[in-house]
């Protein structure tokens, strides 16, 4: 059972990590609480569905199309809906909720509410000491590691990364140093939505597609981000695996209460916040930045 | 100038009231039947598909004889959006009855929404034939307060008590086949039910019934109805040594569960209720991993309850390219209940039509014979009668991409009773990976 819990926790944690890191990035850089983040993930999943099931093309092509199209849509959404109201955090919050619902309704009109699915990129499974693991789950886990590495390279080893980190540290000073904070924010938005698209692309074969599929991950992603500390990528990573393992523990230790896995994970988040209100890796006061 | 403006304003307002107050078209010449359901979902599409078929068939024959005149039928689509909002559902019903002036209503799916919509229809004294929700309360209300709720009739499915009974019979049938074929001394059953209110009494009933059926409970798992990953539950079920998985699913978890169980080749036979598994799209939704999944259903290709089944199912498939779900029984509700009752009553008056519907049973429909039962005190329930010779439903199984009927197959409802096998039923198949695991 321990192996079951480890594998199940790693898989769930990886999914939450992919989503939460993208969300954290844009919040950390531009203080944008993008509620539509998981709606972009839903768009990517439908994009793959369209390319593979309607157009009959290879899933890899679907993934590529999803990444490109959703990232472009994310940039467009930023330019049209977020950038003009960026200084008003409350307005951004409500605006992105509206954006997510609009995306949901468009998908509902285009694809109806029927449940659909997409084929796995790698079919089949393997067993570790009797525990069966899908290759697609392994791919998801591998993808998290690759994405994290790529993100680390981008943030730590490139000039763009330096600009993003500087803007996240102190926007005004970064601006005075000649960095165009609006452009940096837009780039961060592109990277963030791109991450949501990648998540959608690797998760789509493991899940059921519906226009409402963005809601549950949104709650879990917010929980991960708050648990880890708002804007902290490191915190999101840790928070994702904590909640992933909490869910796995519930399913295996209380089978009759499997439906409680989300509630238990959220309770852990509340418990951590009671002890450490800024989250695991958050910064207690704005002045400390 | 001001006076002129005022006059024009009054004229404009009157025109607006006239336009809104009177529906377009010659209302006297048509019978308006509202079709209410979640129209963006499979259930609502079934409601609408069946109703359109009924309308076209009746109108092609010249319409409905109401007293001394012939009237055509017009069906009006109303999206209840009931999966997401019960308020939307009651609003849709209100609009249907007050703005669209529907004379009758068919449809509804979620019990919570149908209970609310039922009240709106009763307030307006309009006949509402439910074609989706299974909760007994919908009909218990008729018995408790007949004068208010007499306008409600259950069209399909039979109530959840009978649904459970049918599922147990089907589970016992599958368990018997496994026991006999694979020499398993005692069948262990994993109960997997989505966490929804309707499933709670079913789980309790299953736990109580298993020992009576000579089976053992391997455990109960309650995933969320929208769970997108049940591999953890499946690992635990496999570890429990279950031979049969009794499923109680109405939502998307049914797809997730069947797909992942198929991919992981979990050596246990799935039987029970899996609403998603009743649909043609299930095979694609599970990426072809649903082989050998069994569920209760109303219709299947090539299976006939009686001589009305085949023409209905074939025509539905011809039009919509899929087998009708039970929600498409809006067809029978219109063709076999509403229209004959109007003709018998010679009027659209709800009270007269209620009497005509009540006295019009039993009558044959595509899924069996409709009859209404009464409660223990002999009060009318407008509740469907279950059982051999009336409505039984089917057990269907996915076999190589096709949903085929596998139950009733030589079913003996009681000691000494004749065996029942519907035309077109084929033998149940055990998944090869189950045979491989247990064959000695």
ipTM, interface predicted TM-score of the complex: 0.73
Domain map (residue ranges) of chain B? 27-157+307-384, 161-297+408-438
pLDDT for residue B17 is more than 50: no
Contact between chains at B264 and A257 (C-beta distance less than 8 A): no
**pLDDT exceeds cutoff 60 at B19:** no
Shortest CA gap B260–chain A (Å): 9
Mean pLDDT of B227-243: 86
Residue B391 has what pLDDT? 96
Strand partners of residue B296: B395
Residue-level pLDDT at B440: 65
Q: For A105-158, how does the pLDDT look when each residue is reduced to its tens digit (9 = 90+)?
A: 999 999 988 888 888 888 888 888 777 788 888 888 888 788 888 988 988 899
Res. B270 pLDDT band, cuts 50 70 90: very high
Residue B28, pLDDT score: 64
Mean pLDDT of A218-232: 86
Query: Do B232 and A53 count as a contact with CB atoms less than 8 A apart?
Result: no
- Of B281 and A257, the structure prediction assigns the larger pLDDT to B281
Q: Provide, rounded to the nearest whole percent, the portion of chain A with pLDDT above 70.
A: 97
More confident residue, B264 or B245: B245
pLDDT at position A132, please?
78
Q: CATH number for the B161-297+408-438 domain, one of 3.40.50.2300, 3.20.20.370, 3.40.50.1100, 3.40.605.10?
A: 3.40.50.2300
- Averaged pLDDT score across all residues of chain B: 91
Cα distances (angstroms) measured from residue A27 to each of A32, A37, A72, B422 = 5, 11, 19, 62
Query: A249-263, B46-60, B147-161 — which is least confidently predicted?
Result: A249-263
Compare B51 and A59 and report the one with higher pLDDT. B51
Give the helix ranges, DSSP H, for B193-308.
200-212, 231-240, 253-263, 282-285
Q: What is the pLDDT of residue A219?
A: 86
Tell me the nearest-neighbour CA distance from A144 into chain B, angstroms.
18
A82, B10, B123 from B24: Cα distances, Å = 44, 22, 24
Q: Which of B41, B233, B276 sits opposite A113 (nearest CB)?
A: B41
Measured in angstroms, the CA of A207 and the nearest CA of chain B are apart by 5
| Choice between B304 and A235, residue whose per-residue pLDDT is larger | B304
Higher pLDDT, B426 or A238: B426
* pLDDT (mean) for A243-248: 86
The per-residue pLDDT for range B209-234, each reduced to its tens digit, is 999 999 999 999 988 888 878 887 88
Cis peptide before A126 (omega within 30 of 0): no
pLDDT at B25: 43
Dist CA A113 CA B40 (whole Å) = 5
A284 vs A29 pLDDT, higher one: A29
Q: Closest residue of A to B223, CA-based?
A: A259
The residues near B171 (Cβ < 8 Å, ≥ 6 apart) are B189, B213, B244, B246, B271, B272
* Residue A120 neighbours by CB under 8 Å, 6+ apart: A59, A134, A135, A136, A205, A206, B287
pLDDT at position B27 is 52
Q: Is A116 left (phi over 0), alpha (psi -120 to 50) or beta?
A: beta
| pLDDT attached to residue B41 | 87
- Taking the alpha carbons at both ends of chain B, their separation in whole angstroms is 100
Contact B41 A132 (CB under 8 A): no
At residue A285 the predicted structure's pLDDT band, cuts being 50, 70 and 90, is very low
Find chain A residues with C-beta within 8 A of B264's C-beta: 125, 132, 134
Q: Give the residue-averaged pLDDT of B399-410.
A: 95
Residue of A nearest to B262 (CA): A124
pTM: 0.80
The pLDDT of residue B6 = 58
What pLDDT does residue B265 have? 92
Among the partner-chain residues A208, A248, A259, the one whose CB lies closest to the CB of B228 is: A208
Q: What is the pLDDT of residues B325-352, one digit of tens each?
A: 999 999 999 999 999 999 999 999 999 9
Nearest CB partner across the interface for B232, out of A8, A114, A118: A8
Confidence at B416, pLDDT banded by 50, 70, 90: confident
Which token pair is B218? 């391997």
What stretch of H or E contains B314?
helix B309-320
Give the helix ranges, DSSP H, for B330-380. 330-332, 339-345, 350-359
What is the pLDDT at residue B2?
52
| Same-fold call for B27-157+307-384 versus B161-297+408-438 | yes
The CA radius of gyration of chain A, in Å to the nearest whole number, is: 19
| Chain segment B117-134, per-residue pLDDT in tens | 999 999 999 999 999 998
Calculate mean pLDDT across residues B285-312: 95
- Which residues of B have a CB under 8 Å from any CB of A? 38, 40-42, 45, 83-84, 194-195, 219-224, 226-229, 231-236, 238-239, 252, 255-256, 259-260, 263-264, 276, 281, 284-287
Cβ–Cβ contact A125 with B under 8 A = yes
Check residue A283 and give its pLDDT: 62
| Most B CBs within 10 Å, among A113, A216, A248, to test the B interface | A113
Interface contact A113, partner B, CB < 8 A:
yes
pLDDT above 50: residue B20: no
Give the number of beta-carbon pairs within 8 Å between A and B: 104
Cβ atoms within 10 A of the Cβ of B13, count?
A: 10
* Fold designation for B27-157+307-384: Rossmann fold (3.40.50)
In the block, residue with structure tokens 């496994």: B178
* CB < 8 Å to B45, chain A: 112
CB-based contact, A124 to chain B, within 8 Å = yes
Q: Say what the pLDDT of residue B106 is.
A: 98
pLDDT of B409 above 60? yes
Token duo for residue B203 = 């789980």
Q: B263, A113: Cβ pair inside 8 Å?
A: no
Instruction: Give the residue-averaged pLDDT of A58-66.
Output: 91
Give the model's pLDDT for residue B3: 56
| Amino acid A203: pLDDT | 84
The string of pLDDT tens digits covering residues A167-224 is 877 778 888 888 888 888 889 899 999 999 998 888 888 888 989 989 888 888 888 8
């Amino acid at each position: 059972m321990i192996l079951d819990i480890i594998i199940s926790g790693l898989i769930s944690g990886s999914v939450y990590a992919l989503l939460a890191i993208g969300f954290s990035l844009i919040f950390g850089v531009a203080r944008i609480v993008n509620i539509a983040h998981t709606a972009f993930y839903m768009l990517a999943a439908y994009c793959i569905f369209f390319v593979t099931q309607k157009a009959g093309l290879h899933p890899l092509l679907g993934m590529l199309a999803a990444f490109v199209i959703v990232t472009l849509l994310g940039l467009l959404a930023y330019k049209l809906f977020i950038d003009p109201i960026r200084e008003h955090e409350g307005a951004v919050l409500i605006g992105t909720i509206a954006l997510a619902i609009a995306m949901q309704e468009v998908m509902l009109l285009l694809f109806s509410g029927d449940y659909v699915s997409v084929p796995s990129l790698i079919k089949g499974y393997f067993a570790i000491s009797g525990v069966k693991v899908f290759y697609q789950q392994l791919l998801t886990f591998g993808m998290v590691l690759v994405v994290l590495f790529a993100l680390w390279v981008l943030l730590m080893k490139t000039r763009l990364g330096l600009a993003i980190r500087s803007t996240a540290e102190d926007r005004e000073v970064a601006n005075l140093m000649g960095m165009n904070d609006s452009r940096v924010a837009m780039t961060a938005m592109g990277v963030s939505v791109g991450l949501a698209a990648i998540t959608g692309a690797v998760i789509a074969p493991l899940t059921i597609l519906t226009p409402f599929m963005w809601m549950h991950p949104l709650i879990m992603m917010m929980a991960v981000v708050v648990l880890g500390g708002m804007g902290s990528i490191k915190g999101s990573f840790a928070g994702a695996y904590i909640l992933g393992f909490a869910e796995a523990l519930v399913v295996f230790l209380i089978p009759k209460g499997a439906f409680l896995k989300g509630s238990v994970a959220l309770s852990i988040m509340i418990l951590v916040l009671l002890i450490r209100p800024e989250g695991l890796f958050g910064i207690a006061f704005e002045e400390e930045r | 100038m001001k006076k002129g403006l005022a006059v024009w304003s009054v004229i404009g307002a009157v025109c607006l009231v006239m336009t809104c107050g009177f529906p377009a078209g010659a209302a006297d010449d048509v019978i308006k039947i509202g079709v209410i359901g979640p129209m963006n979902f499979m259930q609502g599409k079934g409601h609408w598909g069946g109703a359109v078929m009924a309308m076209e068939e009746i109108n092609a024959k010249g319409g409905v004889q109401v007293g001394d005149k012939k009237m055509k039928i017009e069906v009006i689509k109303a999206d209840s959006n009931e999966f997401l909002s019960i308020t939307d559902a009651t609003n849709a019903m209100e609009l249907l009855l007050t703005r669209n002036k529907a004379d009758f209503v068919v449809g509804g799916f979620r019990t919570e929404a149908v209970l609310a919509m039922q009240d709106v229809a009763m307030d307006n004294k309009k006949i509402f034939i439910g074609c989706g929700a299974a909760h007994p309360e919908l009909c218990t209300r008729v018995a408790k307060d007949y004068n208010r709720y007499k306008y409600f009739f259950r069209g399909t499915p039979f109530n959840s008590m009978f649904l459970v009974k049918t599922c147990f019979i089907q589970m016992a049938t599958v368990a018997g086949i496994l026991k006999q074929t694979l020499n398993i001394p005692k069948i262990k059953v994993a109960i997997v039910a989505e966490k929804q209110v309707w499933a709670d009494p079913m789980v309790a009933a299953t736990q109580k019934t298993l020992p009576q059926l000579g089976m053992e409970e391997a455990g109960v798992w309650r995933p969320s109805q929208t769970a997108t990953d049940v591999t953890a539950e499946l690992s635990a079920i496999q570890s429990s040594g279950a031979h049969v998985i009794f499923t109680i699913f109405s939502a998307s978890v049914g797809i997730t569960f069947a797909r992942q169980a198929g991919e992981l080749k979990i050596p246990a036979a799935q039987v029970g209720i899996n609403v998603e598994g009743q649909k043609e799209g299930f095979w694609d939704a599970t990426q072809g991993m649903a082989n050998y999944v069994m569920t209760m259903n109303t219709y299947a290709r090539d299976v006939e309850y009686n001589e009305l089944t085949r023409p209905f199912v074939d025509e539905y498939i011809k039009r919509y390219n899929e087998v009708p779900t039970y929600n498409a029984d809006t067809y029978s509700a219109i063709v076999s209940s509403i229209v004959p009752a109007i003709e018998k009553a010679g009027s659209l008056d709800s009270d007269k039509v209620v009497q005509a519907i009540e006295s019009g049973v039993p009558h044959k429909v595509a899924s069996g014979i409709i009859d209404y039962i009464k409660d223990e005190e002999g009060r009318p329930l407008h509740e469907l009668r279950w059982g051999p010779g009336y409505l039984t439903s089917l057990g269907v199984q996915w076999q190589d991409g096709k949903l085929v009927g596998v139950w009733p197959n030589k079913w003996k409802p009681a000691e000494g009773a004749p065996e029942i096998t519907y035309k077109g039923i084929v033998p149940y198949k055990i998944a090869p990976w189950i045979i491989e695991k247990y064959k000695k």
